[in-house]
Structure 1
């Protein structure tokens, strides 16, 4: 994706608190082990993530499925993406993959991508790997050892799968299922439902993840509580 408009520096510290410019927030799960789920919603001005982030150590995999939303552009500045990743929440690196919806042409354009941040994102060919609203997408990031990650995207509606293996030295201190707007402006995506969300082969909810709501002066979207045994939730558009 484009360079993040805002990547709020957050540091996960066991049984402590972290600070985001003038705001002190409680930490979620301290280790990558099963924990009871207590949703905590953060409304941080300028924070452009929505979804759930599990905190801890030694995360090895994250995956989720969603149906690509039929978005309506409010302006040419609108841009957002659902994605899954390891690191990013409290780290200076992130290994992530998903589908971006870009309104810079005046209409929504869907494009698959992956990123080994801080390296630039890599967008997949729209002719070889096309994505349209209504497509059934599954994304996963898996740590294979020795700083090596396998990133995989599948569009079962179109019948394609893209897999790449990359290396990056990272902390593996978080795992996320997220929507993000690098421009801080969301198109109207209605409601996007994440399902089959797992971390380390277990339900996302079993890790006591933090619930995040994107905010740019006011809520831009709302993250639901986790359902289906901690493996599903929805993101509902509120404003650009």
Structure 2
């Protein structure tokens, strides 16, 4: 079975695998090693790697080059998803700010074996989205439980793929697509918008008090997609991050440099950004230092 962004089983299997769900699963804070971040700062661990800013905001934007990826573990999902968004983390009042309005581009390695190995855990993780408003803490626990199930089956599938017994089921395909999401609602793929490694992407999310506007541009291919979602919920956090599936394997990928990062018209360095990192099964991913309106990850 060939998988594709248009009709892939993984896309329809569960919204939990798509961008946005990470916020509920942040479970720990570690001290960053100087060699990794060039400063001994706390790193919030989940499945975002990058920077989050808390406050009252109206706009966030950034530019990046979509990475080339290398598929490493055929039995598990491997994904890197650069995106920008408003809300999704705990605001200054300590409460999770929702809905998380975000847009970006995904680069994914997936096989038939990985899809079926992930399905049991993804069904559990879907419950987390349903609980996001009612009880974010319980939602986070549910998501972590589903993650453990997914990773257990994924590790078994990866070991089976390593034997070479099921070459067709373990054939890994790369998928690159553009999307937007208003988590906890499911993500929406721009099926007619092509994304390839090396494309220059620009994303912006803004809020005018009554609606969020999510705009994604592929400056290399000349297209722009804009979605407007009504909401009076204020923007309490801003994110410019790379996402991976929670605690799963990351693919190899070329370094991603976010440039021209603006939050309400000001560069990222003007704020007190919080560093986030991914404790993947095959590496620990965290952002490099902020340099004005840019930083590099990977």
- TM-score, normalised via structure 1 length: 0.78
Larger gyration radius, structure 1 or structure 2: 2
Note the aligned Cα RMSD (angstroms): 2.3
- Partner Cα distance (1:136, 1:3) in 2: 27
- TM-score, normalised via structure 2 length: 0.64
Are the counterparts in 2 of residues 39 and 211 from structure 1 also a CA contact under 8 Å? no
Post-superposition offset of 1:8: 3.7
Structure 1, unpaired ranges of 5+: 11-19, 26-37
Superposition pairs for residues 138-217 of structure 1, below 5 Å? 138-146=202-210, 148-183=211-246, 184-216=248-280
Change (3 A) 1:170 1:80: farther
Change (3 A) 1:24 1:42: closer
Post-superposition offset of 1:216: 3.6
Are the counterparts in 2 of residues 223 and 233 from structure 1 also a CA contact under 8 Å? yes
Q: Which residue of 1 aligns with 2:68?
A: 70
Considering fraction of residues, name the structure with more helix: 2
Superposition pairs for residues 6-155 of structure 1, below 5 Å? 6-8=22-24, 20=27, 40-42=41-43, 44=45, 47-56=46-55, 58-76=56-74, 77-90=77-90, 91=96, 92-105=98-111, 106-125=172-191, 128-146=192-210, 148-155=211-218
* SS of aligned partner of 1:173: strand
Change (3 A) 1:84 1:39: farther
* SS of aligned partner of 2:73: coil
Structure 2, unpaired ranges of 5+: 1-10, 32-38, 91-95, 112-171
Change (3 A) 1:174 1:180: same
- Partner Cα distance (2:16, 2:274) in 1: 23
Post-superposition offset of 1:177: 0.1
